């Protein structure tokens, strides 16, 4: 992007995923190589030289990464395959652990809707400790994927208030008043509730100044360390020292982008920006959908995640809900439909994806029925979206 927010070039590179029942795993080494490939391609497509890059930031799913003292991957898999060192966000192996953590009714749980989800990190960590003792003793750092990417790029182990507050029960409001201070780049992590970690059987994670889960935190976007290390700069095709911002979870990065994106007519309204963004809700759609809203005051709503302080927009409380399966649910319905093999054959014969073919069919249906816009085709069709639980 340029400084005005105009997209100059984008690129993607495929990544591996292993799925076995409730266990879904990835490889941090594989993801880093894919990031390097995509960054080089995006710069090339945008015709941007390394010296023109003013900074970069990482956003990723809130998946859990395990590495040892050297930064090498530590397996989180029954297979013991060292490549498989990421428990993916949607992995549901830790349902029992989440139930046991919630049964304790710790005060920190009121800041995530009254209970942790098996998609959050504490239950997953407890699962690894209970089931993979060798990996548990080898792991030196447990990190959210976006924090790990920033760490891999800079060598700075500072964690983001976005990841820690939303997924690790970190109490971000411990840092109220520090947002405008000069030293807020690298704040001592004083928002961990050590009693909570000890109660749930993970007291070893808060030993040694909490080095395994985060000694220091920063507001999203704040510069990390001395920027890109010479090694990572070379791998990314960029210059050493290029600034790297503290990370965001993927959906929350989308939230930051959308919160301020309003039509011209609406932007001239009487409300101040501060008030206006408290009246909007952002939907970020992918495999799942996150529904996010911010407020100046904290709101406790049973079953709704949050209130998370400064997890998306600094000094605002974030409230977050959503649907655990949306894009994944569309895949499931399409793949399991009786007409799926026929659809696949038709798409292959036309050299298009099944989605392009389905969209063509929708356009012709809308044309035949004289309907003004595509979504109106489904005005009388409703889907109950609780296939994989609901947030």
- Compute CA 158 distance to the chain's CA centroid, rounded to the nearest angstrom: 17
73, part of any domain:
yes
CB 252 within 8 A of CB 316: no
* Number of H-type helices and E-type strands within the chain: 15, 14
CA distance 222 to 219: 6
> Which of 223, 253, 283 finishes a domain?
253
158, part of any domain:
yes
259, part of any domain:
no
Whether residue 39 is found in the same domain as residue 160: yes
3-class DSSP state for residue 327? helix
Mean pLDDT by 10 residues, the chain (391 residues): 93 96 96 98 97 97 97 97 96 97 96 94 98 98 98 97 97 85 74 97 94 95 96 98 97 91 65 85 91 95 93 94 82 92 96 95 95 91 72 60
Tally of structural domains, the chain: 2
Whether residue 249 is found in the same domain as residue 342: no
> Which of 225, 253, 281 finishes a domain?
253
Give the burial string for 103-137 (b: 16+ CB within 10 Å, else e).
Answer: eeebebbebbbebbbbbbbbbbbbbbbeebeebbe
Q: How far is CA 18 from CA 44, 123, 125, 136, 286, in A?
A: 31, 20, 19, 21, 19
Domain CATH for 196: 3.30.420.40
CA distance 159 to 246: 7
CB 132 within 8 A of CB 74: no
What domain range is 348 assigned to?
A: 330-378
> Which of 253, 282, 304 finishes a domain?
253
154, part of any domain:
yes
Per-residue pLDDT at 390: 63
Per-residue pLDDT at 348: 96
Q: What are phi and psi of 151, to 5 degrees?
A: -65, -45
Per-residue pLDDT at 329: 83
192, part of any domain:
yes
Q: For the chain, first and last CA: distance in Å?
A: 33
Residue carrying structure tokens 């965001």? 248
Residue 217 host element (H or E) = strand 216-218
Per-residue pLDDT at 162: 97
Tokens of 59: 């956003």
Whether residue 60 is found in the same domain as residue 197: yes
338, part of any domain:
yes
CA distance 119 to 98: 9
Whether residue 40 is found in the same domain as residue 162: yes
Q: How far is CA 371 from CA 240, 291, 335, 360, 377, in A?
A: 55, 29, 27, 15, 7
Whether residue 245 is found in the same domain as residue 108: yes
Give the burial string for 142-174 (b: 16+ CB within 10 Å, else e).
Answer: bbbbbbbbbbbbbebbbbbbbbbbbbbbbbbbb
Tokens of 169: 């029960």
pTM, two decimal places: 0.90
């Amino acid at each position: 992007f340029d400084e005005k927010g105009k997209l100059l070039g984008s690129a993607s590179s495929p990544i591996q995923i292993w799925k076995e029942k409730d266990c879904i795993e990835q490889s941090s080494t594989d993801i880093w190589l894919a990031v390097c490939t995509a960054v080089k391609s995006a710069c090339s497509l945008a015709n941007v030289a390394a010296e023109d890059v003013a900074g970069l930031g990482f956003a990723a799913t809130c998946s859990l990464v395990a590495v040892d003292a050297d930064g090498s991957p530590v397996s989180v898999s029954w297979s013991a395959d060292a490549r498989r060192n990421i428990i993916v966000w949607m992995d549901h192996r830790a349902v029992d652990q989440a139930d046991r953590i919630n049964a304790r009714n710790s005060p920190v749980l009121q800041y995530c809707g009254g209970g942790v989800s098996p998609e959050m990190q504490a239950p997953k960590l407890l699962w690894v400790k209970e089931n993979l003792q060798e990996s548990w003793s080898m792991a030196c750092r447990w990190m959210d994927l976006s924090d790990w990417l920033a760490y891999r790029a800079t060598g700075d182990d500072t964690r983001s208030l976005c990841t820690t507050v939303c997924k690790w029960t970190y109490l971000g409001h411990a840092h109220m008043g520090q947002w405008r201070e000069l030293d807020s780049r690298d704040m001592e992590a004083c928002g961990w509730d050590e009693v909570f970690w000890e109660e749930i059987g993970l007291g070893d994670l808060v030993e040694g100044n909490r080095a395994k889960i985060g000694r220091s935190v920063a507001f999203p976007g704040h510069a990390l360390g001395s920027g890109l290390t010479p090694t990572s700069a070379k791998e990314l095709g960029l210059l050493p020292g290029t600034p790297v911002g503290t990370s965001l979870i993927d959906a929350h990065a989308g939230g930051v982008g959308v919160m301020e994106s309003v039509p011209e007519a609406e932007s001239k309204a009487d409300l101040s920006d501060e008030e206006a963004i408290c009246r909007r809700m952002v939907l970020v759609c992918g495999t799942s959908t996150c529904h996010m809203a911010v407020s100046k005051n904290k709101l406790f709503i049973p079953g709704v995640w949050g209130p998370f302080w400064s997890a998306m927009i600094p000094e605002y409380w974030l409230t977050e809900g959503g649907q655990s399966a949306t894009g994944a649910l569309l895949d499931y319905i399409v793949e399991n439909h009786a007409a799926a093999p026929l659809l696949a054959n038709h798409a292959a014969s036309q050299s298009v994806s099944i989605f392009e073919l389905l969209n063509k069919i929708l356009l012709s249906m809308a044309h035949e029925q004289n309907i003004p816009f595509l979504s109106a085709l489904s005005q009388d069709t409703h889907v109950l979206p609780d296939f994989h639980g609901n947030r």
